[in-house]
Structure formats: C-alpha cells, structure tokens
Amino acid sequence: MDKRKLQIIKLKGGAEVMVDWATKSECRACRTKIYWAKTKKDKQMPINVCGLAEWESHFANCPEANKFRN
C-alpha cells in the first residue's frame, strides 16, 4: 500500500514545492522537525513550519545550514 501523502504547497517566499507528509524527520544539526519537499527542478529541500500554516526552507533558519549546502 502506498503511504505517501503528497501535496503541493507554497512556501513563505512564494515558491511551490511538493511535500510528502510521510517524510517527517529531524534536522541532524539543530534537531528541528522537518519535512522533505521536491522543488520544480526535482531537488530535495528540507522545510519547516515558520508560523501559523506557513512553511519555509529549513535553510532559512537553521544555524548549521552551511554544512548541508552543496
């Protein structure tokens, strides 16, 4: 059985990403709860809640973001 829960959402900056709500995990650096989304260019992006029903890239607020960027 397919347990994926896919949804297209808009991030705080206006970008649209597809989120699989079954991918909840934790940032290895700061331990914030994150979800994994796919961008339009098919890249994986960690996202987290940043307000009431608002989402943003986790790189926008993770103190250790530079460790994970390519």
Q: What is the pLDDT of residues 21-40, one digit of tens each?
A: 998 999 999 999 999 999 99
Whole-structure pTM over 0.85, yes or no?
A: no
Handedness of CA 6, 41, 36, 58 (dihedral sign): negative
pLDDT digits (tens, 9 = 90+) for 6-18: 999 999 989 999 9
DSSP string for residues in 11-48: -TTS-EEEEEGGG-EE-TTT--EEEEEE-TTS-EEEEE
DSSP state of 54: E
